[in-house]
Each structure stands twice: as structure tokens, then as C-alpha cells.
Amino acid sequence: MLCFPPAPLLSNTAGAKILYFQILVHHISCGIFDQRSVQALTAFRHQIHLVNRAYSHTYRFHVQNETSVLDITDSFAVTNALCHHLSRGDLAIIGNSSRNDSYQIYMRPIYINAIVEVILHYGWDKVFFFYDTDEGLIRLQQLFQATNKYDKTIITIDTKRITSVENGYELLLELHKIQDTDHRILLDVRTDRAEQIILKVMSNSSINNARFHFLLGDLGMLEMNLTNFKIGGVNITGFQLVDPYNQTAEAFLASWSNLDPKYWPGAGTKSLNYEAALAADGVLLFTRAFGSLLHKDPSFLRRNRMASYGRTVKCTDDSEVRVGQGQAILEEMKKVRFEGITGHVAFSESGHRKDFTLDVYNVAMTRGTAKIGFWNEKEGRFHAQIPRLLRDPDVINVNRTRIVTTIKKEPYVMFRHVPQDGEPLVADENLEGFCIDLTRAVAKKVGFEYKFMFVKDGSYGSFLPNGTWDGIVGELIRHADMAIAPFTITAARSQVIDFTKPFMSLGISIMIKRPTPIGKHFFSFMEPLSSEIWMCIVFAYIGVSVVLFLVSRFSPNEWHISETQQTIANDFSISNSLWFTLGAFMQQGCDISPRSVPGRIVGTVWWFFTLIIISSYTANLAAFLTVERMLTPIDSADDLARQTEIQYGTISSGSTTSFFKNSQYPIYQRMWAYMNAAQPTVFVKTHDEGLRRVRESNGKYAYITESTTIDYVSNKKPCDTLKVGGNLNQDSFGIATPVGSDL
């Protein structure tokens, strides 16, 4: 909290600590810390150091810190420390407070509604509420009040106050003995104490840990050593205030991790507990607010000093002294908005945090630690998402050899059977293919050592009913550093792993066995033209011959005196007309030709027709002589879906399966229904199995896979497969890495 007693006091946690800071010309605040809050004290000091370096020229003042470390449970010592600093004229105190006061700003958000939303998300109707402080009873009351808004009732079977870790363990052990059902436990205790209690439960082999589901009431889920719970069987859900991928948090942690723990106790690590983050944000909040006041009114501090006649608060003085800065600073703080280590920092008129977001994490034996959603204060509801798994921090080491997971599939990843230059192959030299070359180029560009590891189950990655992923996705989540393979970018996969920009664009297409070419026969010369064209040519031939005969009969120019018999004769008898027309069609000509104008017009038209037909026939004949003709049983996905003779399928787990499963297009829905119901199954486990099934089915099986793979296989000996139709969709291959990878 930030509070003004007559100066502001910042309340940040329910833990025991009070922080102050001051400036050169006027005391702003100093710090009183609990002796156990080492990291919070160091974060407070480090943030003041960063503020002075970044804002001293902007705000024209320099912040100093004066801290006291004591046992916060000693009320006498705390009172003396407060009186000492207030008598110096300090303006702000950062500390803990459970009271509502008009002179307070609360750094720690109120999130009881988030707890209710998660409980409703899981569908719980019974919750065991365990607490360890007096504030736990207040939160229990808030819990009942919050559930009334949802018209839901959470039955608290047992409400117990935990006095120690051992006491908490005994209560859970007793609960396990008397209740033969699943136990939903809301632990309203500090994160470190909750971790100790759960570990103690896990250590008892007589307890069925799978029956426990713990919901942690603190805000530092990721502060626990979550790897301890991966094999324990318990189910744990909790909230995380500090997003490790927040830009402000990353910047602070970058300098925090470089501090020498010898001079900065608790620093020098890549983690920061949320209480320390709240303390650091409290420093930044007060600095921004005070700097804003001085920017608006440079004489603000001097004028308020004169108004109080230079007097300060003295605990031994009966007179009432009010320092004028308190109210002004308080109001200015409520206006401040910024992105802090704990996310978006903004305050309501009552001094409470607003518009903040809490990430919700879950850890279970079946999948490890995963982000399952988030709760937003502005919307007031929990947003569930596909579990986004976090990596084991033990595998994060920048200088180690990286594990690149892949899958065998031509032409991307293949085994090289013949040694280069007769020399034995070592390490990864026995691999070749597009993805192998890509990996070497990326490693050279980025600068890292690597080794390949084939995915154990041979699949690309599907979301399983138990909440885990198999295949390449699962390998990336658990221990692999990178996946370079024919690995399709999908929305579901992008929820749990990160992808680069695509390195190849492609689509889903259909592969069938190449049909047997049509053999040559006696009438093969007629194939360049269809039977309809040949029939038209025959009728045209007869028609033109008859017209030429009639024209010659009626035209006097076609009649002449015979040289032998001295009689009148006509050369274009019906037989000669047929012969003339045939000779012209065959481009050979004959001994007679029409003399009359009508006859020559008919002949010219026929010659022109013959020229077009012969030219077209010659062109088609050349193509038919050089290209084998094949009759494919299907030409598209529509043809495939409408027939029942040819079976079709794809890999049982992968993006192609997800495409048909989630498609809203009627044709693809029909295809998915067929594939899902077909017996024996039409799905295959690997690409090689699908290719083998196409080749051995004698044209009765179609394999649906990536278009680039089909093109490669179809143009490679024995060239017995064929791609039919266009692509069914547009996909892309990308390089995948775990979430937040340094690569």
C-alpha cells in the first residue's frame, strides 16, 4: 500500500515489510524491512538506483534510500522506526496494511473474484479453505460475498487455521483419511509455505496424491520449484502476477541478474518474487507521481514546506501537525499509469489496483507446468486457453549443445547410404535433405552447436485427452531446443510453442497410384481427334461431294464435248466428285478441277476446311506420340468424396488430420466422417506407410498429404504415383522452438 500519514504509505503485500525513500532537498521516504524480506529490500534499493540514473535529469531531484532491517513482529521496534522516519519529514512509506484508509494506495491487487472464477471453471462445489493469518478470515468472507454474485454456493466443508507446515500437513492427512473423495484445497498461505506443505503430502507414500487438487491463494505460482511436482501426482493451480515475458520485467531482470549477490543480497538470479516486484513498482509509482507534481508546479515542495512552517510529525508531541503534500501526492498517484514489473499499474478512486491481469498456471504429473488461461480485472472473468507448457529451467543453458528434433521424411530428412568419398560417416553426416541443409545454415548464422534427435513416436504432434502433446510438439515442450522438419504451422500448436516465419509454402493434395497407360491399337491414329469430330468430317465430306456434283450438273461451264466419242460430257460425276473431295482432304489433288465459278467456290471452301483440320490433327498427333495417355479415376476431392470404390486417408496425427477434423466445408466434413468411420482404418502412422499403401493397393487407396511431398515422390523412380487435383488449402512449414526460447 501507499499511505500518507501525513505522508503517503504504499501497501504492497501481506508480508511484513515497510519501505521508505527520500530526496536530497526533502525527505520523501526510507525503508523499514522485515529481516526475512531480503529480496524485497534489494529490489527496493536497486529500483531507486535505476530511477536515479534514468530520471534524475527529467525530474530534477535525486532519490536517496535509508533502510532499517528488523523483526516486523516486534511492534515496539516498528513503532520506533516509524516515529523516527516521520519526525524526519518523510513523505511516503511502503509497507503492509490490512486497514482501509483514505490515505492509502494499494500496490497488491484484490483478486478474490479471480479465485471464484477459477473455482467455477473447474466446476467445484466443495472447497476446503485453509489459512494462516487473520486476513484469511477476511478473504473467506469476501469469498462468500463474491460467490453470491454468481448465484453459486461454495460449501466450505472445513475451515482451519494453519499454525505451521507440520500442522497443515496433519490437517490434510486427517482429511484424506475421513473423506474418500477428491479434495479441492484452497491454500490461503504464502507460496513458500504452500510449497512445503504440498511436498510433505507428496512424501507420504500412503496418500493417494492424485486425489488432491490445490488452488494457491498467493500470487507467486512460478516462485515454487515446480519440477518437484512433476512426478508427485498432485494437481496444483495458482496465480502469477509477474509475467516473466513482460518487457518491463525482462528489462529489470536483465540488470537484476547481473548484480553481485555479495553487495546485493538476493539478486544475481533470473527470478524475482512478486513482493519484491511490488516494492520496485512502488518506488517507480511514487517517483513518477512526485516528478509529475514538480513538473506541473516547480514551487510545490517549497510552498508546502512553508505552509507547515518546517514542522514534522513527532510521536511525542501532542499537537496536531498536517503536512500539506500528502493529499496532493495521493491524488497524483491515482492518475499515474504505467507498465511495471507487475503488469499494468493503475488505481481506482479508492486507491486499489485496476485493469491488471493475472496469469493462471497449472502443474500436473501428466504434463508438467502449463499456463491454462488468465484473469482480467477489467472484464472480471477467467479466459481459459489451450495449456501452454513451460520448459524445465534445468535445460536452459546458452552454451550447451542444442537438441534439434526432426522426423524422417523424404526429401526433407533422409539417411545417406553411400559414404562421401569412401570415408566412413560420423555424427550427423549420415543425414541429408532440405531440413538438414537448413539446420546447418541456421546453426552457422546464429552460432550454436547442435545434434539431431528423431521424434520417438514418429508423429508431428496432437493434443491428447489427458492434456499433453505427443510428437514433435511434446519433444519441444519437454527437452528439445528446436524442431526443423516438415512441420506445419497451426493455430493450436502456436498456443504452446513458438514458430519462426515460414520457410516453405505448400498445401494439402491427393496422391494416387499412377494409372496404366493406354496401349497402342489399330485405330490409334484416330485418337488425336474425338469420335464426334471424325463423324462431322465424314458428313462434311459426303455433303461437299454431293453439292459439287449438283453444282457441276446445273452449270453449263462444266459440260464439254468428249474428245473420243464426240458427245457432251461432264467430268464431275458422283464418283469423280467424291474422288476430288477425298484428294483435296488428303492434300494430294486429282486430274480434274471445277471450271465453273460455283464449283470453284465449293472447292475453295473445302480446301480451307481441309487446311484447318489437317493442321490441328498433325499438332495433336505429335503430342499423342510423345505423351502417354492415362485415365485417372478421380480428378478432385469432390470426385473422391462422392465415390466409394477408392479408399482414402492420411497420417493419424498431424495438421492434415486436424484440417479435415475442424473443417466447416461440407465436402471435407463428409471425407472426415468417412475416414473416421472406415474399417479397417484408412489412417497411417507414418508417411512411408502411406506411400507403401498407395503402391500396393492397385489404385484402390488415395493418400492425402503435403503437395511438395507428392511432387517429390511422383518425380522419383519408380514414378508410380501421381498428384490429382489442386491443393485443398494453403499451409506453411516453419521452424519451431519452445516458448520463450533464447534462440
Q: Which three cell numbers stand for residue 256?
A: 537484476
Give the span between the Cα atoms of 37 and 19, in whole angstroms: 11
Q: Is residue 128 part of a domain?
A: yes
Q: Are residues 22 and 122 in the same domain?
A: no
Positions of E strands within 514-609: 559-561, 568-570
Give the mean model confidence (pLDDT) for residues 358-365.
87
**Is the model more confident about 230 or about 427?**
230
165 and 63 together in one domain: no
User: Looking at residue 27, what is its pLDDT?
Assistant: 42
| pLDDT score at 309 | 42
Name the pLDDT band for 73 (thresholds 50, 70, 90): low
Tell me: pLDDT of 351 over 70: yes
Give 442-487 pLDDT, tens digit per residue: 999 988 899 999 998 888 888 887 667 889 998 888 788 899 999 9
Q: For 583-638, how does the pLDDT look when each residue is reduced to its tens digit (9 = 90+)?
A: 888 888 787 888 888 888 988 999 999 999 988 888 888 777 666 556 678 888 99
Domain count, the chain: 5
Q: Do 91 and 174 belong to one domain?
A: no
Is pLDDT larger for residue 247 or for residue 302? 247
Same-domain status, 646 and 716: yes
Whether residue 630 lies inside any domain: the answer is no
Question: CATH number of the domain that 301 lies in?
Answer: 3.40.50.2300
Please, what is the angle between helix 655-662 and helix 666-677, to 10°? Answer: 120
Return the higher-pLDDT residue of 79 and 453.
453
Same-domain pairing of 214 and 362: yes
Structural domain includes residue 627: no
pLDDT tens track for 227-252: 777 666 788 999 999 998 888 998 89
CA dist 69 and 80 (Å) reads 13
**CA-based R_g, the chain, Å:** 42
Residue 686: CATH number of its domain: 3.40.190.10
The answer to whether residue 516 sits within a structural domain is no
Q: What is the value of pTM for the model shown?
A: 0.63
pLDDT band of residue 17 (cuts 50, 70, 90) is very low
Residue 36 burial class via C-beta count within 10 angstroms: exposed 0-12, middle 13-18, buried 19 and up: middle
Contact 19, 29 (CB under 8 A): yes
Taking all residues of the chain, what is their mean pLDDT, rounded to a whole number? 81
- If asked whether residues 362 and 404 sit together in one domain, one would say no
| Residue 493 annotated in ligand binding | yes
Of 475, 504, 533, which residue constitutes the final position of a domain?
A: 504
31-50 pLDDT, tens digit each: 556 556 778 878 888 888 88
Reported as a pLDDT band with limits 50, 70 and 90, residue 263 is confident
C-alpha grid cell, residue 657: 488430420
Confidence of residue 90 (pLDDT cuts 50, 70, 90): low
SS3 annotation, 532-552: HHHHHHHHHHHHHHHHHHHHH
- Per the listing, cell 524480506 goes with 37
Check residue 434 and give its pLDDT: 92
Domain membership of residue 310 as a residue range: 2-108+273-346
pLDDT bin (cut points 50, 70, 90) of residue 703 is very high
- The region of weakest confidence among 192-196, 328-332, 665-669, 702-706 is 328-332
Tell me 110's DSSP state: P
Q: In the numeric block, which cell numbers belong to residue 272?
A: 524475482
On whether both 482 and 441 belong to a single domain, the answer is yes
* Residue 103 domain-assigned (yes or no): yes
* Residue 164 assigned as binding residue: no
Q: What is the percent of the chain with per-residue pLDDT over 90, rounded to a whole number?
A: 24
Q: Is 337 exposed, middle or buried (0-12, 13-18, 19+ CB in 10 A)?
A: middle
- Give pLDDT tens digits for 550-579: 888 888 887 776 766 677 777 788 888 888
pLDDT at position 594 is 85
d(CA 231, CA 679): 38
Give the CATH number for residue 528: 1.10.287.70
| Residue 603 within a domain | yes
Q: Check residues 71 and 728 and name the one with the higher pLDDT.
A: 728
HSE, side-chain direction, 13 A CA sphere, residue 275: 24
Per-residue model confidence (pLDDT) at position 503 = 92
Regarding whether 452 and 311 lie in a shared domain, the answer is: no
Residue 486 is labelled as binding a ligand: yes
* pLDDT for 308 beyond 50: no
Task: Please check whether residue 307 lies inside any domain of the structure.
Answer: yes
Q: Are residues 649 and 698 in the same domain?
A: yes
Domain assignment present for residue 737? The answer is no
Q: Is 432 annotated as a binding residue?
A: no
- Going by pLDDT thresholds of 50, 70 and 90, the confidence category of residue 146 is confident
Indicate whether 539 and 617 sit together in one domain: yes
Please check whether residues 162 and 195 belong to one and the same domain: yes
515 is in an annotated binding site: no
Residue range 93-103: average pLDDT?
A: 60
Report yes or no: 256 and 227 within 8 Å, Cβ to Cβ: no
d(CA 650, CA 682): 7
For residue 197, what are the β-bridge partners? none
Cα 582 from chain centroid (whole Å):
74
Condensed to tens digits (0 to 9), the pLDDT of residues 162-216 reads 989 999 998 888 888 877 678 899 999 988 899 999 988 888 877 877 788 999 9
Task: Check: CB of residue 112 under 8 Å from CB of residue 146.
Answer: yes
| Band of pLDDT at residue 441, cut at 50, 70 and 90 | very high
Is residue 312 marked as binding? no
Domain identity same for 239 and 366: yes
pLDDT higher at 463 or 740: 463
Q: Which range is most confident: 1-5, 286-290, 386-390?
A: 286-290
Is the pLDDT assigned to residue 307 strictly greater than 50? no
